[in-house]
Amino acid sequence: MKKLILCLFVLTALLFDASTLGAGEYLTYEEITFHGRNQKLLRDFNEFDYNRLYSQLGRRRFFGWRTATNMSNVPVSFKKETLYVIVNEGETPIRQNFTFRQSEQTSRQISSSGSIGLDLSGDIRAFEAGLESSLNFSFETKRSTMIEEAVDIHIQVDPWTRLEVEIYGEGMITNGVGRRYKFFRNTKSGGWEIFTLQSEHYSIVKSEIER
Amino acid sequence: MRPAVIGLSVFLVLIAWASLVPRLAPHSTMIRTVPRIHSYLATDEPALFSVDFLISDPDGLPAMEDAYETLWIEGDETFALDLVSLDARGTTVIDKVTMHQFVLRMAPRFHTVPFAVQIDEAALHARLVDGREMVFPMGAFSYRTHTSHEGPLRLEHLHNLYGSFGEGVTSQGMLLGLHNESGETLHIDSVSLGSERVSVHTPLITRNATPFEQGMDISKLVDERNVHTPLLEGNETMQFAIRFDFTTDLNLLYRYPLMIEYSVGEASYAFVLEDFMFINANPYAMENAPLFKEVTIHAPASD
């Protein structure tokens, strides 16, 4: 019975291990599109991806991290959100004034899976247990924010028309897996991902509404 | 025994001195800004505008709204401004120094109708309560008023086309969907962004059948050129891909107005979008480092 409980406990831990994902804001975007083949976000990694990357880690270490990179600074496009919607179901045009304000956001966002956690204690998000220093990339150590702007728009919306203000953008994804060892024992393992936000583009799109 | 005690004392004094020296050294405040193309168009009300900067000392006077006594833009003439707000905007790191970002929002006192000014190398001046004067290099500045004269031209969509500037990105064009509501031919006479430093590359490129694309790199347009006389037949909808020509080395452009002058028969009209943020990028990203300019502070003149 004890063995069965132990097995169930280990199985539960493994399942939890595979599904946990510390998420950056970019994972809430409506769409993220890669331009090349066989490119994917950490959240879309399957068991085969993890096993393929873990096999590249090499031998156990006495102490510290072993990491393998899946993609390095791969460009992505995204649709972040529909910021504003005006619907005119009347028979006369309306002249609409509206203001939108971008909220503060970090230009570098991170996510993790498995038992690799995120350190959220300060105002700078980082991977816990010093994973970042073992990655062979130079990342900014502090957050930098996009300029926050309030924009007033005066625009005419024709009868039976829907107007939307949408945010699209460009960024770069770097991801991979890692394992941490203590006295040759594997104490943490999972995936890591860094999203670098480059720019956001605003669009106005009008469409007809069916009467 | 005594030499050991003396040696230890000297060592401790040296340690204390080494730890105190950085604190005793004079602390100089670093202030940086990124000049760009500022273009403002006002129709009914004065257009508000903004200048952002980074400062290493978030507790210094330049980071306090109440410290600003007077503000003006200097070109051939002096244009007085009212401070609307000073807003904090997070931090960024430059040369291992944490810099704090602020935005000065201002309203023009010089707004009259009609009004037009273009200054190619404008500087924002601010006098602080302690008498010092700050000078922010702004880049190209234009402010003009325009009366909208609405006709049958309707905006269907508007989308930024970005391109590289150094290692960063900037707006270098737009996709513009237009619809002619009238039954007659509509001629587009001019498309303007308000600044004389940016003009619209003509002839316009049409992309009639191409579906709307997101976040489009302007370099992808190269193979899709299709020279076209800018006109819309009666009740026609057309998409134009517009490139900008910059007549300045500084082509950092994020937010600007759009003005389309057009005619139908003998009648002339103007479509005006006073202000739109086409691109939201961090001007202080390290790829823009060559563009950073120092904001200078001058001591008050002694009588």
Q: What is the pLDDT of residue A16?
A: 38
Measure CB to CB from residue B279 to each of A148, A158, A200 and give the nearest one: A200
**Farthest-apart Cα atoms in chain A, separation:** 75
φ/ψ of residue B221, rounded to 5: -80, -15
Distance between CA B133 and CA B115 in Å, rounded? 28
Facing residue for A201 by CB, picked from B279, B283, B285: B279
The whole-model pTM stands at 0.78
Q: Are B141 and B209 in contact (CB under 8 A)?
A: no
The reply to whether B214 touches chain A by the CB within 8 Å rule is yes
Q: Are B123 and B76 in contact (CB under 8 A)?
A: no
Q: Give me the amino acid identity at B115.
A: F
The domain segmentation of chain A, as residue ranges, is 4-208
Question: Per residue in B281-301, is it b (16+ CB within 10 Å) or e — as a string?
Answer: bbbbbeebeebebebebeeee
Interface check A158 vs B, CB under 8 A = yes
| CB contact B93 to A (< 8 Å) | yes
CA separation (Å) from B280 to A101, A146, B160, B266?
Answer: 11, 7, 10, 40
How far is Cα A170 from Cα B3, in angstroms, rounded to an integer? 66
Predicted pLDDT of residue B17: 61
Is the model's pLDDT at A142 over the cut of 50?
no
Q: Is the minimum CB–CB distance between A201 and chain B shorter than 8 Å?
A: yes
Spell out the domain ranges in chain B: 31-146+283-298, 153-277
ipTM: 0.72
**A183 in Cβ contact with A63 (< 8 Å):** yes
Give the range among A84-98, A184-198, B31-45, B98-112 with minimum mean pLDDT: A84-98
CATH code of the domain made up of B153-277: 2.60.40
Residue A81 pLDDT > 50, yes or no? yes
Per-residue confidence band for A134, with pLDDT thresholds at 50, 70 and 90: confident
What is the percent of chain B where pLDDT is above 70? 85
The Cα of A151 is separated from the nearest Cα of chain B by a number of Å equal to 7
Average pLDDT over residues B18-37: 70
Q: Amino acid letter at A207?
A: S
SS3 of B209-269: CCCCCCCEEHHHHHHHCCECCCEECCCCEEEEEEEEEECCCCCCCCEEEEEEEEEECCEEE
Interface test with A, best of B40, B106, B282, B292 (most A CBs within 10 A): B282
- Specify the 3-state DSSP secondary structure of B17: helix
> Cβ distance B67 to B128 under 8 Å?
yes
**pLDDT-derived band of residue B180, with 50, 70 and 90 as boundaries?**
very high
- Residues B120/B197, Cβ–Cβ less than 8 Å: yes
Query: What digits encode the pLDDT tens for the residues B8-24?
Result: 777 776 666 655 544 44
Q: State how far residue B13 is from chain A, nearest Cα, in angstroms.
A: 34
Tokens of B26: 């004079």
E-state strands within A92-184: 94-101, 108-113, 118-119, 126-127, 150-157, 161-182
Which residues, other chains included, contact A128 with Cβ-Cβ below 8 Å and sequence gap of 6+?
A: A116, A117, A118, A119
CA distances from A109 to A29, A40, B197, B247 (A): 13, 16, 36, 37
